[in-house]
Amino acid sequence: MPLVYSSYRAPSMFLSRHIETIYPVLFRKITNITYQRERLELKDGDFLDLDWIKKGAKKLLILSHGLEGDTSSNYLKGMARAASNAGYDVLAWNYRGCSGEINRNFRFYHSGESADLHLVIQEIFSKMTYESIGLVGFSIGGNITLKYLGEQQNNLFPFIKAAVTFSVPCDLKAGATHMAGRQSKFYMNRFLHNLHKKVLAKSIQFPDLINDKDFYKIKNFIDFDERYTAPIHGFKDANDYYTKCSSVNYLSGIKIPTLLVNALNDPFLTEKCFPFEQAKSNSCLFLETPEHGGHCGFYEYHKNGNYWSDNRTLAFFEQYL
């Protein structure tokens, strides 16, 4: 599918990639939303916390958050509110260790954790009351969603009809290399601060398996993934992890209508995260690259509090669900 024309136009005060990225995190206010939490116990002894908004609808949206986010992240709550108001049931799921309580097992989550998304979908299938389901993913949640769709190309549950993703680091190695640059130091320090907390929590649980000695030497995702993510989750090294978990390597297998929206000014992404050629060769993959939007930003004023990304998602699902 050729490049999709984007209708998004950032307000004049938001023409900075950093303002577009940071403003929604600090100043967006999401009200009138209450989740009902369900704990999904897993066969490996761990758990996933699922947050629902149920109104008895026949259509469901499953929302996946970004790195070190959770279901309380503004972009996720905004989407959940918009979808609920539009008549959908909503399931926003927290990755292992992201729900406010550290998970039980030694492992936690990573940027290609499609197996846990599959467990969530299997649970829904076991109690199936929905006619159709759509998947929504932000940042690494988008990477997980796209990877999952490509992996399951011949085995996807038939009730999953379409997907929408935003701000996706499709090429994890390229994204990690870009984030190691000086221009990303502010964001990188924030991520590492939160990831350090995860390491400390795990070192209390499993003192013989993990520690934070010399953590200050870790300066970027490549360092962190080499020391922690890869060995903890069974990869040879960071490069092996990036290769096996980058959704760009699975896009050709996507067989349901899927929208990928990556802003050209996203401060987290680099050229390899814009899969133009893959989109041209796959009639199910719609690639939209607005000039502005930042990372998970896409601010646009609406009286109902929706952002452009919320309305774009609903419009896409209205067409395909």
First and final CA of the chain: distance in angstroms? 19
How many Cα atoms occupy the beta-carbon half-sphere of 14 within 13 Å? 20
> Tokens 């590492």 map to which residue?
192
Residues in CB range of 3: below 8 A, 6 or more apart? 276, 279, 280, 287, 288, 289
CA distance 106 to 206: 7
CA distance 273 to 285: 14
For the annotated catalytic residues, the residue numbers are 139, 266, 295
Tally Cβ neighbours within 10 Å of residue 271: 9
| Separation between Cα atoms, residue 321 and residue 319, nearest integer Å | 6
- The CA-based angle 293-296-163, given to 5 degrees, is 105
Q: In the structure, how many helices (H) and strands (E) does the chain have?
A: 11, 8
Rounded to whole angstroms, the Cα distance separating 101 from 93 reads 14
Q: 31: helix, coil or strand?
A: coil
> What is the C-alpha separation between 75 and 24, in angstroms, rounded?
8
